[in-house]
Amino acid sequence: MKHIRPKKSLGQNFLKSHTALTQIIAAGKLNKKDVVLEIGPGKGALTEKLLEHAGTVIAIEKDTNLFVYLSEKFSDEIQEGTFILLNDDILDFSFSNYKIRETKYKLIANIPYNITGAILRKFLSLETQPEKMVLLVQKEVAERIVARDRKESILSISVKAYGTPKYIAKVPARYFSPAPKVDSAIISIENISKAHFASIKEESHFFELLRAGFAHKRKLLTSNLSHLGINTKTVLIECSISTQARAENLTLKHWICLSKKL
Ligand code: SAH
């Protein structure tokens, strides 16, 4: 395995911290009935812990060399049927492609950072959403998701529209091999559902409005939404939003209210 060079293009930064692994497992609140979906198992550091604590682990690894390595490393678990290892791109993955019965599952992974946004979008908006996620992401992205500076963003509101994000812990860059340029952090997203949306139409309307509201971040919301052609100011007042507000000042509740009225 020493001879397989980490591929930068695939975001390969392997976790080597026992502390971080323990924190991820604890945040997952795993039991032996759980099905876990892992993205990018790499050399299997997290996979090993997941197999210890969960019932079944399904892992999707894009790198064929790593896939072959993992097939050998976990051959017993694969035979037992507690580990399902797939050589695929997570962004193309669907349960039905593999005839895997869709069940309740938790998404737990140290993901390739270059596709963080795509992974969040895919799994939050999926028909069969995970019941919870525990992800290792860039620290700055983790902070943006929970709006640590109290400024909301498209990212934070998009996540909150489906679940409750929580910042778990910082993971310093030196805990990875090779060390990435920036620090990372573990986040969890609990209570995942589509309860805020009565239909797909409502869901897509919500995101259209959100994108419009954030189109020019420094502008007032009234100006970003003025193209909607109705009296936006009145609607803002009805939703208890200041007419001087910028998109970053609005909570999820505000956006939900706006999307019902605009
Ligand atoms: N989970 C491991 C490795 C994390 S590095 C650990 O914590 O040590 C990110 C992993 O995601 C690598 O194994 C990389 O090959 C894999 N990967 C990158 N892009 C992927 C994609 N689109 N689909 C599935 N796996 C991917």
Domain coordinates of the chain in residue numbers? Answer: 8-190, 200-261
**CATH 3.50.30.20, domain 8-190, yes or no:** no
Average pLDDT over residues 255-262: 94
Q: What is the mean pLDDT of residues 39-60?
A: 97
Percentage of the chain surpassing pLDDT 70? Answer: 98
Ligand 1 centroid to Cα of residue 114, in Å, is: 10
pLDDT at 2 over 70: no
103 Cα to the center of ligand 1, angstroms: 23
Ligand 1 pocket residue status of 62, Cβ below 6 Å: yes
Rounded (5°) CA angle 46-51-56: 120
Q: Which residue has the least CA distance to atom 18 on ligand 1?
A: 10
Question: What are the residues whose beta carbons fall under 8 Å from the beta carbon of 65, sequence distance 6 or more?
Answer: 4
Nearest ligand 1 atom to alpha carbon 93: 23
pLDDT value for 71: 98
Average pLDDT over residues 168-187: 96
In this structure, whether the domain defined by 200-261 belongs to CATH 1.10.8.100 is answered with yes
pLDDT tens-place string over residues 100-121: 887 899 999 999 999 999 999 9
pLDDT at 231 over 90: no
Q: CB burial class (10 A; 0-12, 13-18, 19+) of residue 17?
A: middle
The pLDDT, as a whole number, for residue 103 is 84
Residue 18 has pLDDT above 70, yes or no: yes
Return the ligand 1 atom nearest residue 42 CA: 13
Whole-number Å distance between alpha carbons of 74 and 83: 8
Give Cβ neighbours of residue 204 (< 8 Å, ≥ 6 apart). none
Residue in 33, 57, 178 with CA at minimum distance from that of residue 109: 57
3-class SS at 57? strand
Pairing of strands 14-15, 176-177: antiparallel
Q: What is the pLDDT of residue 1?
A: 53
241 pLDDT tier (thresholds 50, 70, 90): very high
Q: Greater confidence, 8 or 192? A: 192
